[in-house]
Chains A and B, each alone.
Chain A
Amino acid sequence: MTTATGYAPNRTLPLRVEFVRQFKRRRTLAMFGLLLALPWVLVIAFQIGPQRGQEQSLRISDLATQSGLNFAAFALSVSASFLLVVAVALFCGDTVASEANWSSLRYLLAAPVPRDRLLRQKLIVALAYSASAVICLPLMALLAGTLAFGWDDIQVPVTGEVIPALDVLPRFGIVIGYALVSQLVVAALAFLISTMTDSPLGAVGGAVGLWIVCTILQAVEALGVLREFLPTFWNNAWLDALQPELDWSGMTKGASVSITYAAILIAVAFRRFRHKDVVS
């Protein structure tokens, strides 16, 4: 085995390097800026919007101003179905395709960074960025909501029961955890497309597009039980974590479906990329 001095395949492309390479990108910063600003925009919207009377409604949007926790739940509910999907698709779909687009991919591969390792490191970093995106939104919403509406107990949508704030914090952790797991399939899909194309926007758009197709299919009731296996079907299952009776069934099913798709999609991504002719 003949190598250059100091070269070891398992030391190539350290995570720290990949983090720095991605962090200084405008789209990274813009996406985080948007996610961190959104709760404040919502707060302002609630403050200047016409105040509803004392009419007591139990919809999640009407409960948003009850407390910081309610507000955070609301912020998550409005963003989980699309904004976070786009964020995750962006971080995971852009990562390889943009390198191909810049032609820097071939120099990394010739450095050489072994292909599996390149994908692994990029996947880890992309998932880390995605996770921080998913986490930072509800946390900022919690902060913004607490400052704006106070630290009160959470009022449960639909039934109107009140759960002490401290009791609901772990539940909130479950919500965020589930949101992370359910976005795994978006991440994997975007990542797979990213390894197949030179166009970063193609990868992001492809993942979001397939996501939308799934959401549409989900509305076809005729599909019956088959819909349960659509990756989008259990997207809102985290709402169960905010019910007085914590119900895991929806979330376990959602996690199961998500992990299943993610594992296969990522395996296909590695398999394809391993022998792919890099011509970009």
Chain B
Amino acid sequence: MKRVAALVVALALIGVTTWLVWPSAPDVRGQDQKITVVDGPAGDQRVELDTTFFPPPGGGKAPVVLLAHGFGGSKQSMRDQAVRLAQEGYAVLTWSARGFGRSTGQIALNSPDYEVKDVQQLIDWLAKRPEVQLDAAGDPRVGIAGGSYGGAIALMTAAFDQRVDAIVPQITWSDLADALFPNAAATAPSAGQSSAAEEGDAAPSGGGAEQAGGVFKRMWAGIFFGQGVSLDATSLLGPRDAAGPLTPEQARCGRFLPEICDVYQKVAETGTATPEAVALLRRSSPVTVADRIKAPTLLLQGQRDSLFPLSHADANANAIAAAGTPVSMGWFDGGHDGGNGEADWLFEQSSAWFARYLKGEGSGAPPVSAFTVTRDGGRDPGTRQRILLHPETGSYPGLGGTDTTTVELQGPEQNIVNPPGGSPASISTVPGIGGLLGGQAGGVSIDMPGQSAAFESVPLTTPLQLTGSPSATIRVSGQGTATLFAKLYDVADSSQLPVLPAGLVAPLRVTIPEGAGSVTATVQLPAVDHRFAVGHRMRLVVTTTDMGFATPAQPATYQVSLASPVLAVPTVRTLAAAPTGVAWWVWAMPLASVVVATVLLAVGRRRRPARGASPLEGNLATSPNGATVTAASASADGGPDVPLEIRGLTKAYRNGERAVDGLSFRVEQGQVLGLLGPNGAGKTTTMRMMMGLIQPDEGEIRIFGERVTPGAPVLSRLGSFVEGPGFLPHLSGRDNIDLYWAATGRPTADAHFDEALEIAGLGKALDRAVRTYSQGMRQRLAIAQAMLGLPDLLVLDEPTNGLDPPQIREMREVLKRYARDGRTVIVSSHMLAEVEQTCSHVVVMQRGRLVSTGPVSQLLSSAAVANGHGPRLEDVFLDLIGDKR
């Protein structure tokens, strides 16, 4: 117990020390700084930017990372991320963009004339900092990361400033005009043409706004421009930075640049894109300048994003990669509509990207794959919690995937109506609150009756992993310009609601040519990564309304049919879970444990080497019962003929009290030795040591010259009965005896079962379970067991307990006869009269010490003759132990 307690204390000490000494993350201190920049088309507007600079905590010069906040946020939103990044050994600068937080100026939507110029001057400022590593004079080693609005400034700055060395734009746009006025349809007038003609018709992406203008993304645009609603949830929590009552101009436009405000108000009113609006939005769109980006770009786009869907990252990736710049793409579980967010994974990926392109190849950072997709990985085998997998592939295949699976859709031509006023509207995603709902399955999708046409596949026979943007070709009949929404549902069965992957819809605006009566449109459905399970159906739904978009107020009726029954589903064959490899501990731990186990066993092999127990070559003698005896060391003491010799035997209890104390005696062959002593004299302890059950602290026991150790082979010549019988209670007496002998591994013929069982005298009871035996029966059976194989040395502890007088008498004869054959018997007993009659010699012990030893006759004759009759052993005994009463 003491050792256990000591171990616990030691472990606790080690734990506490480790906890105290363990290197904590370096302390990062931010320096608040107002930096004045000059921007505007003419370069004449002074703006004061509120920044925080985090020097590298390790000191020295380090690459610098600019962290840009999202729309509605400020430098405060990036603080935690900045600290974490600084701890990785970077200098970090966060700033509130013009028009946000405590910075002055107005929002110009990441315009090259405004925000881009601001950031360029921030880079100038950084180039002068002593903590920042420089590539050249005035050119710091700099990366930019940020989400949404901050992601766009990363792209825009990298396009306009070649000093930028790496960027990680997240959930951002490539074309703001396309984001707010998307059109997923490519049309071809088809007055009765066969659909086969259009099969090769590739759908231009992002071209929608240029044509007739796409469908106005009303709700998102309202949130984006409405200053009261923030895209950044954290800014809602903190105190508002804005101070003072609003002027009428502020109330109208907030902190927007008035020209942007005007354009937006016009657009929002009509719901159609004006050329000025498109031109303005394009100026703030990376896609127009992406071919100038030379900084390696890691695009992280959310799969649950109806504002800037995956197709925007795709357009950016294609444009940047076309210029030969390294691009990696990640589709994670998050985006403007919520989802997991994967903050840690995003940080790891960004950190790895910067490590590679800012710190250099040799930084030991894990590589970032060209294309990574976050997928539901089922449940963790340990916690059964949902886990996310990150399968990856070495090249980004685009929204068309590496392969295309065609799924046949069925369904007749269907009539759909646009309700007057566009209400009630179907629901796919509710912008701005998707993150609050946070559902895994994509929230609620409702199609209003009468407004939708559905085309369905047969149940899938194999699972289908859609990765990219599927396409279908539909024919729309009717008049005028139709605003429609296409979505692809995953339909499990009638009992479950159909799932709209990521809650995404593809809005399309198709103009039916005058007199043609119908138009054929190829629809690029939203890009998603979704697994359609076996037995599920794919359902293409075309509706006339969607709550998130502006739809015409005029009632209208259209007929929608499939121009081609084929739904082209892109798949990416090469996407495989990252070969995480086997964690090092998986193989190291068992190996280490085997080593530890071996050491544990090897170190604890022998507490004390047995002296003189080494077997020597010698003449073979045969013991009385035929046992083979190899003569051991022929020392004068304790030779192979001496059945038992005890020298200096000492055994202390845990509390230090000695149960046996310096005991020495010797038993010769043919003796029947009585081991006498009051309770607690150490008789049983001595016998246990003879059996090798207890290890002596000092001294030794030799049986036939062999030192007794636990399991010493010489114990096979010892028969013992100590401290009561020990049988398996569920077995019969006979089975117990048989199995005991079998356990010794010796030949059955040597057992002498009959002789032993005769001593037990159990008769028919021998075949009953031992648990039914009386105390005496067990006692006799145990003595019989001790005599199995007629051992040369028989040790019996209180053998006559529980025996009746005839049996005692018989036992006496048995023992005498046993010794007469040249064997040796040691008996401990309290019944002194019994000992007197049975034993030839006695050993008297008290408090663990030897008091007297010798033949019984000698002991008796030495005693004084008392009160007339001859000396009794009882008197001698009481005299010896000094307990005369």
Chain B residues closer than 8 Å to A257, beta-carbon distance: 589
- Would you call A34 an interface residue if the criterion is a C-beta within 8 Å of the partner chain's C-beta atoms? no
Asked whether A2 lies within 8 Å of B717 as measured between CB atoms, the reply is yes
Among the 9-residue stretches B14-22, B84-92, B272-280, B622-630, the one with 4 or more Cβ atoms under 8 Å from chain A is B622-630
Contact with A along B61-87 (1 / 0, CB 8 A): 000000000000000000000000000
Chain B residues closer than 8 Å to A25, beta-carbon distance: 730
How long is the Cα–Cα vector from A56 to B607 in the complex, in angstroms? Answer: 66
Among the 9-residue stretches B194-202, B546-554, B745-753, B824-832, the one with 4 or more Cβ atoms under 8 Å from chain A is B745-753
Find the B residue at minimum CB distance from A4: B716
Chain B residues closer than 8 Å to A274, beta-carbon distance: 604-605, 710
Asked whether A24 lies within 8 Å of B745 as measured between CB atoms, the reply is no
Find the A residue at minimum CB distance from B651: A277
Asked whether A4 lies within 8 Å of B789 as measured between CB atoms, the reply is yes
The minimal Cβ–Cβ distance linking B348 to chain A, given in whole angstroms, is: 15
How long is the Cα–Cα vector from A183 to B876 in the complex, in angstroms? Answer: 62
A112 and B711 in contact, given A3-B716, A14-B745, A256-B590 (Cβ under 8 angstroms): yes
How long is the Cα–Cα vector from A256 to B594 in the complex, in angstroms? Answer: 11
A227 and B746 in contact, given A102-B727, A107-B785 (Cβ under 8 angstroms): no
Chain A residues closer than 8 Å to B582, beta-carbon distance: 249, 252
Chain A residues closer than 8 Å to B717, beta-carbon distance: 2-4
Among the 9-residue stretches A61-69, A84-92, A141-149, A153-161, the one with 4 or more Cβ atoms under 8 Å from chain B is A153-161
A263 and B593 in contact, given A5-B750, A103-B723, A104-B728 (Cβ under 8 angstroms): yes
Asked whether B628 lies within 8 Å of A3 as measured between CB atoms, the reply is yes
Chain A residues closer than 8 Å to B493, beta-carbon distance: 56
How long is the Cα–Cα vector from A259 to B728 in the complex, in angstroms? Answer: 32
Instruction: Pick the contact of B744: A7, A10, A16, A104 (CB < 8 A).
Output: A7
- Would you call A55 an interface residue if the criterion is a C-beta within 8 Å of the partner chain's C-beta atoms? yes
- Would you call B302 an interface residue if the criterion is a C-beta within 8 Å of the partner chain's C-beta atoms? no
A7 and B597 in contact, given A252-B582, A254-B381, A256-B585 (Cβ under 8 angstroms): no
Find the A residue at minimum CB distance from B597: A267
Asked whether B705 lies within 8 Å of A2 as measured between CB atoms, the reply is yes
Asked whether A110 lies within 8 Å of B720 as measured between CB atoms, the reply is yes
Asked whether B745 lies within 8 Å of A12 as measured between CB atoms, the reply is yes
Chain A residues closer than 8 Å to B710, beta-carbon distance: 109, 112, 114-115, 274-275
The minimal Cβ–Cβ distance linking A45 to chain B, given in whole angstroms, is: 24
Find the B residue at minimum CB distance from A1: B615
Asked whether A24 lies within 8 Å of B730 as measured between CB atoms, the reply is yes
Chain B residues numbered 781-796 whose CB sits less than 8 Å from any CB in chain A: 785, 789, 791-792
Find the A residue at minimum CB distance from B592: A260
Chain A residues closer than 8 Å to B586, beta-carbon distance: 252-253, 256
- Would you call B563 an interface residue if the criterion is a C-beta within 8 Å of the partner chain's C-beta atoms? no
How long is the Cα–Cα vector from A221 to B585 in the complex, in angstroms? Answer: 21
A14 and B742 in contact, given A4-B791, A261-B593 (Cβ under 8 angstroms): yes
Chain B residues closer than 8 Å to A218, beta-carbon distance: 382-383
Chain B residues numbered 628-642 whose CB sits less than 8 Å from any CB in chain A: 628-630, 632, 640
Contact with B along A236-280 (1 / 0, CB 8 A): 110110011001011111101101110110111011001101110
Chain B residues closer than 8 Å to A261, beta-carbon distance: 593
Chain A residues closer than 8 Å to B716, beta-carbon distance: 3-4, 7, 111-112
Asked whether B718 lies within 8 Å of A110 as measured between CB atoms, the reply is yes
How long is the Cα–Cα vector from A235 to B600 in the complex, in angstroms? Answer: 28
- Would you call A108 an interface residue if the criterion is a C-beta within 8 Å of the partner chain's C-beta atoms? yes
Asked whether A2 lies within 8 Å of B533 as measured between CB atoms, the reply is no
Find the B residue at minimum CB distance from A278: B693
- Would you call B236 an interface residue if the criterion is a C-beta within 8 Å of the partner chain's C-beta atoms? no
How long is the Cα–Cα vector from A112 to B745 in the complex, in angstroms? Answer: 10
Chain A interface size range: 35 or more
Asked whether B627 lies within 8 Å of A2 as measured between CB atoms, the reply is yes
- Would you call A135 an interface residue if the criterion is a C-beta within 8 Å of the partner chain's C-beta atoms? no
Chain B residues closer than 8 Å to A118, beta-carbon distance: 711
- Would you call B357 an interface residue if the criterion is a C-beta within 8 Å of the partner chain's C-beta atoms? no
Asked whether A161 lies within 8 Å of B626 as measured between CB atoms, the reply is no
How long is the Cα–Cα vector from A108 to B728 in the complex, in angstroms? Answer: 12
A111 and B740 in contact, given A1-B615, A2-B706 (Cβ under 8 angstroms): yes
The minimal Cβ–Cβ distance linking A152 to chain B, given in whole angstroms, is: 16
Asked whether A9 lies within 8 Å of B713 as measured between CB atoms, the reply is yes
Asked whether B627 lies within 8 Å of A3 as measured between CB atoms, the reply is yes
Asked whether B384 lies within 8 Å of A236 as measured between CB atoms, the reply is yes
Report whether over half of chain B's contact residues are helix, strand or loop; otherwise say mixed. loop
The minimal Cβ–Cβ distance linking B7 to chain A, given in whole angstroms, is: 12
- Would you call B378 an interface residue if the criterion is a C-beta within 8 Å of the partner chain's C-beta atoms? yes
The minimal Cβ–Cβ distance linking A103 to chain B, given in whole angstroms, is: 3
How long is the Cα–Cα vector from A279 to B689 in the complex, in angstroms? Answer: 10
Contact with A along B575-616 (1 / 0, CB 8 A): 000001011011101101110111011011101000000010
Find the B residue at minimum CB distance from A26: B730
Asked whether A267 lies within 8 Å of B706 as measured between CB atoms, the reply is no
Report whether over half of chain A's contact residues are helix, strand or loop; otherwise say mixed. helix
- Would you call B495 an interface residue if the criterion is a C-beta within 8 Å of the partner chain's C-beta atoms? yes
How long is the Cα–Cα vector from A160 to B744 in the complex, in angstroms? Answer: 58
- Would you call A162 an interface residue if the criterion is a C-beta within 8 Å of the partner chain's C-beta atoms? yes
How long is the Cα–Cα vector from A158 to B731 in the complex, in angstroms? Answer: 51
Asked whether B731 lies within 8 Å of A21 as measured between CB atoms, the reply is yes
Chain B residues closer than 8 Å to A243, beta-carbon distance: 378
Chain B residues closer than 8 Å to A268, beta-carbon distance: 600
- Would you call A233 an interface residue if the criterion is a C-beta within 8 Å of the partner chain's C-beta atoms? yes
Find the B residue at minimum CB distance from A251: B381
The minimal Cβ–Cβ distance linking A133 to chain B, given in whole angstroms, is: 19
A260 and B593 in contact, given A1-B713, A21-B739 (Cβ under 8 angstroms): yes
How long is the Cα–Cα vector from A264 to B712 in the complex, in angstroms? Answer: 27
The minimal Cβ–Cβ distance linking A252 to chain B, given in whole angstroms, is: 5
- Would you call B412 an interface residue if the criterion is a C-beta within 8 Å of the partner chain's C-beta atoms? no
Find the A residue at minimum CB distance from B690: A110
Find the B residue at minimum CB distance from A227: B382
- Would you call A234 an interface residue if the criterion is a C-beta within 8 Å of the partner chain's C-beta atoms? yes
- Would you call B724 an interface residue if the criterion is a C-beta within 8 Å of the partner chain's C-beta atoms? yes
How long is the Cα–Cα vector from A108 to B727 in the complex, in angstroms? Answer: 10
- Would you call B204 an interface residue if the criterion is a C-beta within 8 Å of the partner chain's C-beta atoms? no
Asked whether B632 lies within 8 Å of A13 as measured between CB atoms, the reply is no
Asked whether A110 lies within 8 Å of B691 as measured between CB atoms, the reply is yes
- Would you call A113 an interface residue if the criterion is a C-beta within 8 Å of the partner chain's C-beta atoms? yes
Asked whether A158 lies within 8 Å of B692 as measured between CB atoms, the reply is no
Asked whether B378 lies within 8 Å of A2 as measured between CB atoms, the reply is no
Contact with A along B312-325 (1 / 0, CB 8 A): 00000000000000
Asked whether B791 lies within 8 Å of A106 as measured between CB atoms, the reply is no
Find the A residue at minimum CB distance from B729: A102
Asked whether B715 lies within 8 Å of A111 as measured between CB atoms, the reply is yes
Chain A residues closer than 8 Å to B594, beta-carbon distance: 263
Instruction: Pick the contact of A11: B598, B693, B718, B745 (CB < 8 A).
Output: B745
How long is the Cα–Cα vector from A109 to B380 in the complex, in angstroms? Answer: 47
- Would you call B463 an interface residue if the criterion is a C-beta within 8 Å of the partner chain's C-beta atoms? yes
A264 and B596 in contact, given A4-B717, A6-B750 (Cβ under 8 angstroms): yes
- Would you call B855 an interface residue if the criterion is a C-beta within 8 Å of the partner chain's C-beta atoms? no
- Would you call B138 an interface residue if the criterion is a C-beta within 8 Å of the partner chain's C-beta atoms? no
Find the A residue at minimum CB distance from B712: A112
How long is the Cα–Cα vector from A94 to B70 in the complex, in angstroms? Answer: 65
The minimal Cβ–Cβ distance linking A77 to chain B, given in whole angstroms, is: 11
Chain A residues numbered 1-48 whose CB sits less than 8 Å from any CB in chain B: 1-14, 16-18, 20-21, 24-26
Contact with A along B383-412 (1 / 0, CB 8 A): 110000000000000000000000000000
Other 11 A-B pairs with CB < 8 A, given A1-B706, A7-B746, A257-B589: A2-B630, A11-B746, A103-B724, A104-B726, A111-B715, A247-B381, A259-B590, A260-B590, A263-B590, A264-B600, A267-B598
Q: List 26 A-B contacts (CB under 8 A).
A: A1-B615, A1-B706, A3-B716, A4-B750, A7-B745, A10-B745, A21-B731, A24-B730, A24-B731, A109-B692, A113-B744, A114-B710, A159-B533, A161-B534, A218-B383, A236-B381, A250-B380, A251-B381, A252-B586, A254-B381, A259-B593, A263-B597, A264-B600, A267-B600, A268-B600, A271-B600
By Cβ-Cβ distance, the 3 closest A-B pairs, closest first, are A250-B381, A103-B726, A11-B745
Q: Which residues of A contact B (CB under 8 A)?
A: 1-14, 16-18, 20-21, 24-26, 55-56, 102-118, 158-162, 218, 221, 227-228, 233-237, 239-240, 243-244, 247, 249-254, 256-257, 259-261, 263-264, 266-268, 270-271, 274-275, 277-279
